[in-house]
Amino acid sequence: MSIFTKIKGLFTKESAGVTPQPAPVKAAASSKKNENIIEIKGITKVFDGVTVLDNLNLGIKRGQFVTLLGPSGCGKTTLLRLIAGFETPTEGEIFIEGVPITNIPPYKRPVNTVFQKYALFPHLNVFKNVAFGLKLKTVKDKNAKNGERKFTKEEIAQKVNRALKLVGLEDYGHRDVNSLSGGQQQRVAIARAIVCEPKVLLLDEPLGALDLKMRKEMQIELKKMHENLGITFIFVTHDQEEALTMSDVVVVLNDGSIQQIDRPKKIYDEPKNAFVADFIGESNIFSGVMEKDYVVSFLGKSLRCVDKGFEKNEKVDVVIRPEDIKIVDGAGTGHFDGEVLTTVFKGTYYEMIVLANNYEFTVQSQAEFRPGRIVSLEIVPDSIHIMKKILTINKYLGKVTGDGYVTFCDGEFEIPTDGFETGDEVVVYVPFDAVELTDDEEDGVIGAAVTQSLYKGTYYQVQVYTDTDEDFYIDTADEWDMDDRVGVKIDGAKVRLEKYDPEKDEEVAE
Ligand code: ATP
């Protein structure tokens, strides 16, 4: 079953014990539930000259289950480690309950972390693993010397047993941790993290090491624990389905920037841009043009949509979910006629690839159409999601290094420099179709790694990341694999240069 079908199920009916709608925040937290317990303000993190998080702003409400979701390397763990105090921001400030925490060491922050690798103490039994942190803690007591004392044995036993009960391991205190299954070990790790009663629990891919069945069970357990504890959970995952099923709020990250912050249903139904649409569930994505209010054209057709307020002829991304396309037998009735290329039964529906107007549409339907059948695809206005294009041209700060040569991104490119002099600082505008990728890195002017590839109806839009921390977007007929090393060449004749103006071009210099 595709992620989409499962997700769709979640929003329409109860499924497997997971509550489809955001869970109400419980008990103690409820009086302050609309207050932000964490404020992330202008956080930037740079490692070795590479910007991993770029000016992030995020407020997290008390008691919420918030998930940081994004592809590998987008900066999720770094953000969590900044909140935990294992990293320091390069810029910006994090506040917990209104208090700036940059200078507060990890153990003094009201947070605790559960890691993917449980890191339990192998020589201690379950009880002692959970009790470990409590033994180091002190509690305020006005009768004690210095006004503080350690927890008593009875207090520790009471707290440990309560934590073990919460994770469903009340009879396991005496067990050797090595004798437990992966899921049970992860529960011990969670008990160890919650026993000190943190206000915020940080979970860094805590289910990543579990097999699928155990993972599903633990998802339900974690959700229940969240409801029972009433504290804030910040959960990191790259698994879209996990994020959408478990969270009150999902924060989608890509390349160190927040793409969208919303409730799961809204993220699915109303993705803010083509990246979110592609990353969450399956999508047909096209490059289109808004002809006027309520009319968009793509793949050579004009269709009615429900969007307005774009510039006349503004370039947009058009997203259509596979289940929103109606497929009917024979040509002529719908908007696009085509031929079924493949049909796969997915348990409750058929997923078909239909070639129409040179585009391979993914269509899901209860009805089966065998390969070779001529069909017509119908798309109602409500199913067409229009998104602003995030970027329409690559833009860099460069320097004219000779007649016909401009240097930027650590490479010297051949570009006509008429009207400019050697040494001039220039803004270099490189259209997406002016970039060429080469298989062999050595054949390019500079080297880069492929970080994204989106099919947009008639071409692939590929994103590559250079060794100097710059992105290039390329429109190309070729498909490139993620993480491939490639060379980057440029057709200088298509490039436009403008004299650099520090006031006007502030952002390009950063
Ligand atoms: P994953 O899902 O693979 O864990 P992620 O989204 O959690 O990825 P991060 O672990 O936050 O990503 O890493 C973001 C980027 O920062 C990566 O390119 C990573 O190599 C880099 N990075 C993280 N920690 C460090 C470090 N201590 N020094 C240098 N680079 C780092």
**Structure confidence by residue, pLDDT tens digits, 478-494:** 888 888 899 999 999 99
**One fold for 283-388 and 394-509:** yes
Residue identifier of the C-alpha nearest atom 25 of ligand 1 = 47
Residue identifier of the C-alpha nearest atom 16 of ligand 1 = 52
Please give the class, per CATH, of domain 394-509: mainly beta
Q: How far is the CA of 122 from the centre of ligand 1 (A)?
A: 28
DSSP strand pairing (91-96 vs 138-140): unpaired
**Is residue 238 within 6 Å of ligand 1 at its C-beta?**
yes
**Is residue 73 within 6 Å of ligand 1 at its C-beta?**
yes
Would you report the helix, strand and coil content of the chain in percent, each value rounded to 5? 25, 40, 35
**Is residue 45 within 6 Å of ligand 1 at its C-beta?**
no
Q: How far is the CA of 352 from the centre of ligand 1 (A)?
A: 37
**Is residue 75 within 6 Å of ligand 1 at its C-beta?**
yes
- Least confident stretch, 24-28, 176-180, 252-256, 277-281: 24-28
Q: Which of 76, 259, 452, 482 to mutate to test the pocket of ligand 1 (most atoms within 8 A of CB)?
A: 76
**Is residue 77 within 6 Å of ligand 1 at its C-beta?**
yes
Distance of alpha carbon 155 from its chain centroid, rounded?
A: 41
Residue identifier of the C-alpha nearest atom 11 of ligand 1 = 75
Q: Check residue 69 and give its pLDDT.
A: 95
Q: How far is the CA of 75 from the centre of ligand 1 (A)?
A: 6
**Is residue 121 within 6 Å of ligand 1 at its C-beta?**
no
Q: How far is the CA of 228 from the centre of ligand 1 (A)?
A: 32
Q: How far is the CA of 470 from the centre of ligand 1 (A)?
A: 17
Q: Check residue 3 and give its pLDDT.
A: 39
Tens of pLDDT, residues 102-133:
889 988 899 989 887 767 898 999 999 999 98
Residue 349 pLDDT grade (very low, low, confident, very high; cuts 50, 70, 90): very high
HEC sequence for 58-111 = EEEECCCEEEEECCCCCCHHHHHHHHHCCCCCCEEEEEECCEECCCCCHHHCCE
| Residue 252: strand pairing partners | 69, 260
- Least confident stretch, 12-26, 191-205, 457-471: 12-26
**The total number of residues written for the chain in this structure:** 510
The pLDDT of residue 220 is above 50: yes
Q: Which atom of ligand 1 is nearest to the CA of 81?
A: 11
Q: How far is the CA of 77 from the centre of ligand 1 (A)?
A: 7
Between 3.40.640.10, 1.10.3720.10, 2.60.120.10, 2.40.50.140, what CATH number should domain 283-388 receive? 2.40.50.140
Q: How far is the CA of 246 from the centre of ligand 1 (A)?
A: 24
**Is residue 376 within 6 Å of ligand 1 at its C-beta?**
no
**pTM of the complete model beyond 0.75:** no
The domain spans of the chain are: 123-197, 283-388, 394-509
- Least confident stretch, 207-216, 443-452, 478-487: 207-216
Q: In which residue are the tokens 């991104």 written? A: 409
* Mean pLDDT value across the chain: 86
335: left (phi over 0), alpha (psi -120 to 50) or beta: alpha
Q: Check residue 508 and give its pLDDT.
A: 57
**Is residue 53 within 6 Å of ligand 1 at its C-beta?**
no
Q: Which atom of ligand 1 is nearest to the CA of 78?
A: 11
